[in-house]
């Protein structure tokens, strides 16, 4: 939870919990039980969007298989967030934010602008990778909702935390793919006008 507003820690007093759960109402449903899955389906009957972060290997047993849900509720947008996405060789791997930090390449570049480029890789402070997965999921879900307003049908949205963060590493993959140059922390450096932020909008 972290960062409490009062001396006595409680979930309701946690700053991160307050921020991330603003304007939300809570419902408890044990999706390992038949009655819990029935409660979920009652909610989905009138829902626009379902967002969850249940790992791919556990989804079928919990009634969260995206293809099944999309078939049962054609207008529903099902957004799933996982460490490595729904497809590919690592789809069924489990992991934590630390794993995503290293698998995406962010830890390799951190600490950035350090005078000690030989330092071991470090994860950035807090829960930045989880937050980025959530931010990407929100934007992709809104795009899917706009599509539904125009076309009338929902869809499945697959979010991989690893891919979200890998896509944010400035020009590092471009330099490696097209120029064969491997990025590093580079030590102390001055941002010149040629690469000053904010960058061009693509």
Helix (H, G, I), strand (E, B) or coil at 14: strand
Q: Which two tokens stand for residue 12?
A: 């309701």
Catalytic annotation present for 130: yes
Number of H helices, E strands in the chain: 8, 3
3-state secondary structure 28-89: CCCCCCHHHHHHHHHHHCCCCEEEECCCHHHHHHHCCCHHHHHHHCCCCEEEEEECCCCCCC
- In the set 30, 118, 130, 158, the catalytic residue is 130
What are the residue numbers of the active site? 130
């Amino acid at each position: 939870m972290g960062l409490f507003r009062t001396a006595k820690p409680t979930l309701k007093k946690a700053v991160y919990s307050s921020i991330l759960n603003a304007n939300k109402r809570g419902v408890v449903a044990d999706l390992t039980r038949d009655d819990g899955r029935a409660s979920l389906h009652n909610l989905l009957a009138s829902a626009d969007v379902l967002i969850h972060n249940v790992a791919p290997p556990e989804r079928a047993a919990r009634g969260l298989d995206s293809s099944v849900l999309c078939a049962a509720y054609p207008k529903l947008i099902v957004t799933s967030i996982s460490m490595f996405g729904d497809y590919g060789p690592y789809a069924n791997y489990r992991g934590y934010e630390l794993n995503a930090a290293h698998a995406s390449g962010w830890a390799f570049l951190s600490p950035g602008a350090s005078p000690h480029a030989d330092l071991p890789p470090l994860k950035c402070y807090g829960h930045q990778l989880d937050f980025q997965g959530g931010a990407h999921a929100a934007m992709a879900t809104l795009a899917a909702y706009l599509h539904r307003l125009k076309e009338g049908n929902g869809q499945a949205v697959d979010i991989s935390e690893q891919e979200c963060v890998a896509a944010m590493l400035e020009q590092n993959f471009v330099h490696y793919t097209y120029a064969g140059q491997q990025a590093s922390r580079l030590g102390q450096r001055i941002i010149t006008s040629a690469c000053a932020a904010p960058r061009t909008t693509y």
